[in-house]
Amino acid sequence: METTYDYVVVGAGTAGCVLATRLSEDPAVGVLLLEAGDRSPAEAPPPVWPTLQGTSADWAGVSVPQAATGGVVPWPRGRGVGGSSAINGMVFTRGHRSSYDAWAAAGATGWGFEDLLPYFRRSENAPGRDPATRGVDGPLTVAPASPGHPVAQALLAAAQQTGYPVVPDLNAGLDEGFGWSDLNIVDGRRQSAADAYLAPALPRPNLTLVTDALAHRLLTTGGRCTAVQYGVGSEVFTARADREIVLTAGTVGSALLLMLSGIGPAAHLRQLGIEVVADLPGVGSNLQDHPRSTVIYSAARPLPTGRTNRAEVAGLVRSDPSAAAPDLQLQLVDMPYYAPALPPSIPGTGEGWSIGISAMTPRSRGTVRLTAASPDAPPRLDPNYYGDPHDVAVMTAGLRIARTIGTAPALDSWRGAEVLPGPAVQDPAEVRDYLFQSLRTYSHQVGTCRIGLDDRAVVDPQLRVRGIDALRVADASVMPTIVSGNTNATVCGIAERAAALITGQTD
């Protein structure tokens, strides 16, 4: 069966929900939105978000054994309407402006912080924040927890006692220090991109959503992308686009679909018997993620039940005063949060809390690759964690800072014992081993279809795939380098700007 639309958008995650909604605001155009999963369990109460991992709403990938650590790392990523915004921790932060200015400096013209600011603002409604830097009428209502968890309040005081400032708005993009994170929680419930953007738009007669639709490949004719072939169950369909096809399938999905369609590193494609349509060696390369570890303390007394996302407070700091920009995030988690391989024994009350540590500007780079010329085949995921020793040094500094804050007087009434890594772990080699054993993904994978002007860039600054007409990518995969914050807010901004580029309505 064959259908025709003006635009075909592949992937109904955060970016796809934003983009399909914005494109369909013009009633004269027809938009098809394809999603490999189904409706998501976004209605789950916010505190239980970790239980969504491994469900039908999760692709549930696993990395290959990592060269540095020897271990594999579970890689949850959203599968379903809303994508990762339907299963993530609901933190909505942009990170520091230096992240985006680095994009522009490296050749991603028009993608600096000031360039993206109007699109960040367009995506959000942030009551009580400065309207010069924050949105006031966007679809996503974001706000910090109120009242916050008492251990989170104590951590802010501990950070001050340790010498770090408490800032009024971590999302302004200008400040370093600790503060309350904005959360995608409205009236006690998660607000995914599907809730905020797509649900109000679905009644439009010019917007069609097809779920359980696994994209098989892109069809090209004479250097122009003309259609998407996809399957629903045992049936195969073709959706043609008169104007453009836009990939919003994420850092893994968009790269895989390009390669399945013959667009990618020629040698890799030929190994799998895929005809090369365009030799783009950067497709699937430049993979980046925030490595994550935690310091875990037992609770000196029973903890109040977490009501929001269990992670209400964060800090953005420098691992060393000489660092060019803030490169560490620390986050209070009001429960024990640890790698599956390290289940701690919690003394006393059996309860605990954690300080998460993450290197925000990692230098390690990995790859996404096909394992077979089939859309059903699991991908080869190699984030190459700690492939660059610099990342180990940053995380080591983060562990030291977390311990200093965790033992500050403001936390005395809540702190029992250091459970992980344990006070005996002090030697640099032991600290490194703990960082390797406790490694988790922060689920912030980016970079496999990066923006740029050089030969290894996949898309140009207008998000057009190099060498192929009528095809763009507009999701986390286009980030040249990872941002110094949780990535969902940035994906919203990218998709908002992509819609403006496509419709010619850029500011």
SS (H, E, C) 247-303: ECCHHHHHHHHHHHCCEECHHHHHHCCCCCCEECCCCCCCEECCEEEEEEEEECCCC
Please check whether residues 8 and 117 belong to one and the same domain.
yes
How confident is the prediction for the chain on average, in pLDDT? 95
Q: What's the average model confidence in pLDDT over 239-264?
A: 98
Please check whether residues 65 and 196 belong to one and the same domain.
yes
Residue 399 is part of which domain span? 145-180+291-359+386-438
| Closest to 379 measured CA to CA, from 233, 251, 234, 227 | 251
Is the pLDDT score of 348 beyond 80? Answer: no
Q: What is the pLDDT of residues 157-185, one digit of tens each?
A: 999 999 999 999 988 877 899 999 999 99
> What is the pLDDT, as a whole number, of residue 54?
83
In the 8-state DSSP scheme, what is residue 305? P
Is the pLDDT score of 42 beyond 70? Answer: no
Is there a contact between 406 and 158 (Cβ–Cβ < 8 Å)? yes
Is there a contact between 467 and 90 (Cβ–Cβ < 8 Å)? no
Please check whether residues 130 and 156 belong to one and the same domain.
no
Is the pLDDT score of 421 beyond 60? Answer: yes
Q: What's the average model confidence in pLDDT over 411-434?
A: 97
Residue 43 — very low, low, confident or very high, per pLDDT cuts 50/70/90? low
Q: What's the average model confidence in pLDDT over 209-231?
A: 97
Q: Residues 428, 430, 431, 437: what is their CA dihedral angle, to the nearest 10 degrees?
A: 150
N- to C-terminal Cα separation, the chain: 39
Please check whether residues 24 and 101 belong to one and the same domain.
yes
Is the pLDDT score of 250 beyond 60? Answer: yes
Strands 380-382 and 367-369: antiparallel
- Active-site residue, selected from the candidate residues 96, 216, 290, 444: 444
Q: What's the average model confidence in pLDDT over 107-128?
A: 96
Please check whether residues 244 and 302 belong to one and the same domain.
no
Structure tokens of 53?
């991992």
> What is the pLDDT, as a whole number, of residue 507?
61
| Amino acid letter, residue 493 | G
Is the pLDDT score of 240 beyond 90? Answer: yes
Is there a contact between 92 and 14 (Cβ–Cβ < 8 Å)? no
> What is the pLDDT, as a whole number, of residue 174?
77
Q: Of 410, 438, 466, which residue constitutes the final position of a domain?
A: 438
Please check whether residues 275 and 301 belong to one and the same domain.
no
Across 27-97, the runs of DSSP E, i.e. the strands, are 31-34, 61-62, 74-75
Structure tokens of 151?
């251990």
Cα 456 from Cα 459, distance rounded (Å): 9
Q: Is residue 16 within a helix (H) or strand (E), and if so which, with residue range?
A: helix 14-23
Instruction: Give one word for 156, left, alpha or beta, with left for phi > 0 and alpha for psi -120 to 50.
Output: alpha
User: Any alpha helices (H) in 333-427, and if so which ranges?
Assistant: 389-406
Q: Is residue 236 within a helix (H) or strand (E), and if so which, with residue range?
A: strand 235-247
Q: Kindly report the CATH number assigned to the domain that includes residue 113.
A: 3.50.50.60
Please check whether residues 339 and 462 belong to one and the same domain.
no
Structure tokens of 28?
């004269």
| Closest to 393 measured CA to CA, from 355, 425, 431, 420 | 431
Please check whether residues 46 and 166 belong to one and the same domain.
no
Q: What is the pLDDT of residues 461-503, one digit of tens each?
A: 999 999 999 999 999 999 999 999 999 999 999 999 999 999 9
Please check whether residues 401 and 453 belong to one and the same domain.
no
Is there a contact between 164 and 178 (Cβ–Cβ < 8 Å)? yes
Cα dist from 432 to 232, 361, 407, 419, 438, whole Å: 46, 18, 21, 17, 10
Residue 219 — very low, low, confident or very high, per pLDDT cuts 50/70/90? very high
Q: What's the average model confidence in pLDDT over 411-416?
A: 97
Please check whether residues 115 and 159 belong to one and the same domain.
no
| Closest to 450 measured CA to CA, from 81, 50, 107, 22 | 107
Please check whether residues 108 and 33 belong to one and the same domain.
yes
CB-count exposure of residue 196 (10 Å: 0-12, 13-18, 19+): buried
Q: Kindly report the CATH number assigned to the domain that includes residue 330.
A: 3.30.410.40
Specify whether 444 is catalytic. yes
Between CA 223 and CA 230, with CA 227 as vertex, the angle to 5 degrees is 135
Please check whether residues 205 and 101 belong to one and the same domain.
yes
Q: Give pairs for 257-260: CB < 8 Å, separation 24+.
A: 257/10, 257/215, 257/217, 257/218, 257/375, 258/218, 258/283, 258/284, 258/449, 258/458, 258/465, 258/473, 259/283, 259/284, 259/369, 259/370, 260/216, 260/217, 260/370, 260/373, 260/374, 260/375
Q: Of 394, 420, 438, which residue constitutes the final position of a domain?
A: 438
471: CB partners within 8 A, 6+ apart: 218, 225, 244, 245, 246, 247, 464, 465
Is the pLDDT score of 316 beyond 90? Answer: yes
Residue 2 — very low, low, confident or very high, per pLDDT cuts 50/70/90? very high
Instruction: Give one word for 425, left, alpha or beta, with left for phi > 0 and alpha for psi -120 to 50.
Output: beta
User: SS3 sequence, 111-166?
Assistant: CCHHHHHHHHHHHEECCCCCCCCCCECCCEECECCCCCCHHHHHHHHHHHHHCCCE
Tally of domains within the chain: 2
Is there a contact between 92 and 183 (Cβ–Cβ < 8 Å)? yes
Residue 341 — very low, low, confident or very high, per pLDDT cuts 50/70/90? confident
Structure tokens of 424?
């005996």
> What is the pLDDT, as a whole number, of residue 41?
58
Q: Is residue 4 within a helix (H) or strand (E), and if so which, with residue range?
A: strand 2-10
